[in-house]
């Protein structure tokens, strides 16, 4: 049973607009949530994270929102740039340095 769900396999967004990637989780023990970005044939790179005591974390063009009651988080990218085209994985863990459970990923296409 999937504990971290990314229901949109792909998303296309015009360059300069906002990209919103969504993620749902089922395990209420998760306390840390992360987003990773992955290009083909490369390892994922850490993008941004949020702990359960916060509802928002911002880093430059990237903002993650967490709604604990809905068990939902989202990643906003503003403005979207061509280099943002990649697969984005939502992930969660119960402890800060514990094993991480990944969603299936959303492929983001930034259109010119």
**Site for another protein (CB under 8 A): which residue of 19, 24, 103, 110?**
103
Site map (CB under 8 A) of another protein, residues 44-83, x = contact = xxx--x----------------------------------
Stretch that binds another protein, among 17-25, 28-36, 54-62, 69-77 (CB under 8 A): 28-36
* Residue 99 touches another protein, criterion: CB under 8 A: yes
Q: How far is the CB of 91 from another protein (least distance, A)?
A: 8
**Site for another protein (CB under 8 A): which residue of 60, 69, 97, 112?**
97
Q: Give the long-range contacts of residues 21-24, CB within 8 A, separation 24 or more.
A: 21/74, 21/75, 21/77, 21/88, 21/90, 21/106, 21/108, 22/72, 22/73, 22/74, 22/106, 23/72, 23/73, 23/74, 23/75, 23/90, 23/103, 24/70, 24/71, 24/72
How many residues lie near another protein (CB under 8 A)? Answer: 22
Closest CA to 30 of 10, 11, 50, 44: 50
Residues at the contact surface with another protein, assessed by CB under 8 A: 6, 9, 32, 34, 36, 41-46, 49, 89, 96-97, 99-105
């Amino acid at each position: 049973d999937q504990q971290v769900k990314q229901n949109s396999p792909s998303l296309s967004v015009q360059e300069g607009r906002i990209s919103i990637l969504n993620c749902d989780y089922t395990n209420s023990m998760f306390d840390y949530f992360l987003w990773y970005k992955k290009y083909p044939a490369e390892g994922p790179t850490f993008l941004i994270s949020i702990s359960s005591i916060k509802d928002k974390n911002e880093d430059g063009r990237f903002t993650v929102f967490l709604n604990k009651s809905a068990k939902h988080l989202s990643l906003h990218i503003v403005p979207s740039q061509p280099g943002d085209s990649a697969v984005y994985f939502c992930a969660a863990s119960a402890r800060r340095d514990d094993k991480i459970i990944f969603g299936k990923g959303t492929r983001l296409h930034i259109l010119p």
